[in-house]
Amino acid sequence: MSTEAPSGRAKQPILYADQLWRQQRFFAGFLIAVGLVMTILLIYQGQLAKTANVIWILYIPSGLLLGGAFLLYKRRSYVEAQDGGVKVGTLRSSVLINYDRIRGVRVQPLKLAFQDRRSRMVAPMMKPLMEKPALFVRVRGTDEEVAEIKKRLGSRMMYEDTIALPVRDADAVAWEISSRLPYRLGENQGGGKRRKRRR
């Protein structure tokens, strides 16, 4: 029996982007398929040159652009425990949070991040993720520092001082982060207090 802890070092995809890709890739494929069929049909009928029929040709690049955008969003959305800190990637930027700025890590159902007034932020595509385990990371810092992280990640991924991310293997990445936190060095690793020597 293996006693090794799960490895969370690999990038863990953030499931918001993965869920969006799963739902919208068929629409992108539909645009491409319709564009191809209609283009072939118009070529066969010799009517492709008509201005009114050009719209069907545009379905193909539109579907490719849409599908490419969703795929790019999926690939750029991840969380990774690196040597220098926890890196959270988004479509437009990424945030590296040093381990000494992390107050705590836990795994809980994602729905706990969307209670009370935040429940209005739950989009239809997010509902299948609500009951799944998510990574919760509490950060420390000044109000300005926390606000800057929230600005870059967005209010959906971060509320108050907590980052909440639905990932594929929340337990693995939580263990990887916890094992690197500085305060673990000061924890009692076993044994009682040392007895004072008698003089």
Taking alpha carbons only, the member of 178, 95, 164, 176 closest to residue 133 is: 164
Letter string b/e over residues 31-68, b meaning 16 or more CB atoms within 10 A of that residue's CB? bbeebeebbeebeeeeebeeeeeeebeebbeebeebbe
Task: Give me the residues paired with residue 82 across strands.
Answer: 85
Domain-embedded: residue 161:
yes
With tokens 């949070």, the residue in question is: 97
Residue range(s) defining the domain that contains residue 102:
78-186
Tell me how far apart the alpha carbons of residues 4 and 22 are, in angstroms, rounded to a whole number: 33
CA-CA distance, 34 to 53, in Å (whole number)?
13
84 plus 179 within the same structural domain: yes
pTM of the model: 0.75
Instruction: Based on the fold, state whether residues 93 and 141 are members of the same structural domain.
Output: yes
Query: At 133, which CATH number?
Result: 2.30.29
Q: Is the same domain home to 106 and 172?
A: yes
Nearest to 135 by CA among 111, 184, 168, 170: 170
User: Would you give per-residue pLDDT tens digits along the chain (199 residues)?
Assistant: 444 444 445 689 999 988 888 888 888 888 889 888 888 888 887 776 676 777 888 888 888 998 888 888 888 999 999 988 999 998 888 899 999 999 999 999 999 999 888 888 888 888 999 999 999 999 998 999 999 999 999 888 999 999 999 999 999 999 999 998 886 543 433 344 444 444 4
Indicate the angle between helix axes 54-76 and 15-45, nearest 10 degrees. Answer: 160
